[in-house]
Amino acid sequence: MSAFIVNEYHISQLIRYGSHRDVSMCVNGVFDRRMSGKEQELMAILVKANFESVNHRYEENTPAMPGAYAPDFERVLSPVQVIKACNCYDYQSCEIDNYETTDAAKNIEAIRSRAINALPGYEEAEWEIEPREVNRRIARII
Taking the C-alpha atoms of residue 12 and residue 75, their distance in angstroms, rounded to an integer, is: 12
In the chain, where the domains are located: 8-141
Query: Could you tell me how far CA 46 lies from the centroid of its own chain?
Result: 10
In eight-state DSSP terms, residue 99 is G
Which residues have a Cβ under 8 Å from the Cβ of 47 and sit 6 or more positions away? 8, 11, 64, 65, 66, 67
Q: Name the packing angle between helices 103-117 and 79-93 (round to 10°).
A: 160
Cβ atoms of 50 and 5 closer than 8 Å:
yes
Reading the chain (142 residues) residue by residue, the pLDDT tens digits are: 789 999 999 999 999 999 999 999 999 999 988 888 899 999 999 999 999 999 999 999 999 988 999 999 999 999 999 999 999 999 999 999 999 999 999 999 999 999 999 999 999 999 999 898 755 556 566 6
